[in-house]
């Protein structure tokens, strides 16, 4: 017999396929913020069309409320991946989730006497199915979807499975790095032995990708934002600097921290260690960005970063008091660096405007940035007002 219904291990064959597959009412599945921050509407529409195998039959079946015929007209190749949580595990899960995404209060999930189903993977599929129900006008509550159920997974276990499921359409590198690095830190905090090789095996990626993720996560938030705002970038935007380049800057964090400690032995520092490290990284990022705006090659930019890493390492090896000469505060040097970068950016935009290459949408965004800058330039009357402006 070439096929049979899977009813459990019978000892006669090796069975591979979705485990714990059941049909679940789609409207009963809860969804929390997850690593894919943005969804392409056109992509959702294309996915919905691929699920509808017989549009005319689906239209007729929906009008007749013939659920058997509706089922025949739909084909979902991949199941949803769900986490079934009891009350105790759900409480820990949403609390860990709130800390990870820095959302403040944990997201509210209404509970009844039954366990709660939380979506791990299949967010695009869910939106496509909801779009189909709306377009063909049938009740969403009648829609049951084939789903693989896992029991009481922790947040970082669920994120690992989500990462693996996103193999066909990767979320932004920033979001992937956050998940990988978080998994590494959770394992360390739990006292479990963890290596780059072990994490790479769990995520099905290379050790170098794990190392890049950990290095990127070490960077201050404002340096990570040279790649993308952590709330997601506007669709179609290019990052200021590529992820791989900024991730390499992570090695400088420890070097700059050590430089600060050495200098503090010989002179009074005007900045905290964090301010010092962030300012040095920002000056380097500004320099690399200027090179990119001026059209320098990726090789040249990479060489510039490699030279800075080599210089930082070499400086610490010297270990001489004469090395730590009095210099301008890094805050002053950073301001000069930022002004130079802004000048290059303005010159570039001026050139594009003269060539008639600035799109109206970009002009509108620039106007909004100018308005915000004018507001921030005005002294705030109170701390609350300052926070509002920011």
- Tens of pLDDT, residue by residue over 253-264, are 999 999 888 888
Task: For residue 191, name the pLDDT band (cuts at 50, 70, 90).
Answer: confident
231 has pLDDT over 50: no
248 has pLDDT over 90: yes
pLDDT on residue 20? 79
pLDDT on residue 106? 80
The residue among 138, 134, 230, 130 whose CA lies nearest residue 177 is 230
Structure tokens at 109: 């999930």
pLDDT on residue 214? 93
- In the chain, what's the furthest Cα-to-Cα distance? 87
Structure tokens at 13: 């064959």
Mean pLDDT, the chain, integer: 81
Average pLDDT over residues 215-231: 82
376 has pLDDT over 80: no
385 has pLDDT over 90: no
Lowest mean pLDDT among 154-163, 319-328, 369-378: 319-328
Tokens 């079934």 identify what position? 84
212 has pLDDT over 60: yes
Which residues, 6 or more positions from 183, have their beta carbon under 8 angstroms from its beta carbon? 156, 159, 160, 199, 202, 203
Average pLDDT over residues 262-268: 78
353 has pLDDT over 80: no
Hey, how many other C-beta atoms are within 10 angstroms of the C-beta on 69? 15
Q: Is the model more confident about 100 or about 272?
A: 272
The residue among 129, 28, 23 whose CA lies nearest residue 73 is 129
Rg over alpha carbons for the chain, rounded to the nearest Å, is 26
Task: For residue 200, name the pLDDT band (cuts at 50, 70, 90).
Answer: confident
3-state DSSP helix/strand/coil percent for the chain, to nearest 5? 60, 5, 35
Average pLDDT over residues 246-252: 94
Between CA 91 and CA 105 the distance in angstroms is 12
112 exposure class (CB count in 10 Å sphere: 0-12, 13-18, 19+): exposed
The residue among 368, 369, 348, 370 whose CA lies nearest residue 357 is 348
Residues 272-319: tens digit of each pLDDT: 999 999 999 999 999 999 898 888 899 999 999 999 999 998 888 775
Residues 103-152: tens digit of each pLDDT: 777 887 877 778 999 999 898 899 999 999 999 998 889 999 999 999 99
Structure tokens at 6: 């899977």
Hey, how many other C-beta atoms are within 10 angstroms of the C-beta on 26? 21
| 3 state SS of 86 | coil
Between CA 253 and CA 219 the distance in angstroms is 7
pLDDT on residue 125? 92
Q: Which helix (H) or strand (E) holds 116?
A: strand 116-121
Average pLDDT over residues 186-205: 84
284 exposure class (CB count in 10 Å sphere: 0-12, 13-18, 19+): buried
pLDDT on residue 24? 92
Average pLDDT over residues 163-186: 79
pLDDT on residue 270? 81
Task: For residue 199, name the pLDDT band (cuts at 50, 70, 90).
Answer: confident
Between CA 33 and CA 166 the distance in angstroms is 15
Most confident listed range (52-61, 92-101, 344-353): 52-61
Most confident listed range (2-11, 204-213, 335-344): 204-213
62 and 137 in contact (C-beta within 8 Å)? yes
Hey, how many other C-beta atoms are within 10 angstroms of the C-beta on 84? 19
236 has pLDDT over 60: no
Task: For residue 237, name the pLDDT band (cuts at 50, 70, 90).
Answer: low
Q: Is the model more confident about 257 or about 387?
A: 257
Angle at which helices 251-266 and 298-318 cross, to 10°: 40
Average pLDDT over residues 325-352: 72
Specify the pTM. 0.60
The residue among 169, 78, 158 whose CA lies nearest residue 117 is 158
């Amino acid at each position: 017999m070439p096929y049979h219904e899977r009813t459990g291990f019978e000892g006669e064959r090796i069975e591979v396929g979705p485990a714990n597959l059941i049909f679940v009412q789609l409207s009963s599945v809860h969804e929390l913020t997850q690593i894919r921050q943005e969804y392409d509407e056109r992509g959702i529409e294309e996915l919905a069309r691929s699920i509808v195998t017989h549009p005319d039959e689906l239209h007729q079946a929906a009008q007749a409320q013939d659920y058997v015929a509706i089922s025949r007209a739909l084909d979902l190749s991949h199941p949803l991946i769900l986490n079934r949580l009891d009350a105790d595990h759900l409480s820990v899960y949403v609390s860990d989730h709130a800390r990870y995404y820095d959302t403040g209060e944990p997201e509210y999930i209404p509970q009844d006497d039954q366990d709660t189903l939380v979506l791990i993977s299949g967010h695009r599929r869910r939106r496509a199915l909801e779009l189909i129900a709306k377009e063909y006008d049938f009740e969403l509550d009648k829609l049951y979807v084939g789903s693989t159920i896992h029991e009481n997974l922790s947040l970082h276990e669920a994120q690992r499975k989500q990462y693996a499921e996103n193999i066909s359409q990767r979320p932004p590198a920033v979001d992937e790095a956050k998940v990988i690095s978080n998994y590494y830190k959770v394992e360390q905090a739990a006292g479990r032995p963890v290596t780059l090789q072990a994490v790479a095996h769990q995520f099905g990626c290379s050790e170098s990708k794990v190392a890049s993720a950990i290095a990127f996560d070490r960077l201050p938030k404002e340096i990570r934002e040279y790649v993308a705002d952590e709330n997601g970038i506007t669709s179609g935007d290019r990052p200021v600097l590529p992820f791989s380049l900024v991730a390499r800057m992570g090695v400088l964090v420890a070097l700059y921290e050590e430089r600060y400690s050495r200098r503090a032995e010989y002179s009074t520092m005007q900045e905290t260690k964090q301010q010092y490290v962030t300012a040095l990284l920002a000056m380097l990022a500004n320099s690399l960005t200027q090179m990119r705006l001026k059209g320098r090659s990726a090789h040249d930019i990479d060489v510039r970063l490699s030279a800075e890493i080599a210089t930082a390492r070499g400086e610490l090896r010297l270990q001489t008091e004469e090395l730590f000469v009095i210099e301008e505060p890094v805050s002053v040097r950073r301001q000069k660096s930022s002004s130079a970068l802004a000048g290059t950016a303005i010159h570039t935009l001026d050139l594009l405007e003269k060539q008639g290459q600035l799109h109206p949408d970009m002009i509108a965004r620039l106007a909004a940035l100018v308005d915000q800058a004018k507001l921030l330039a005005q002294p705030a009357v109170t701390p609350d007002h300052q926070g509002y402006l920011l």
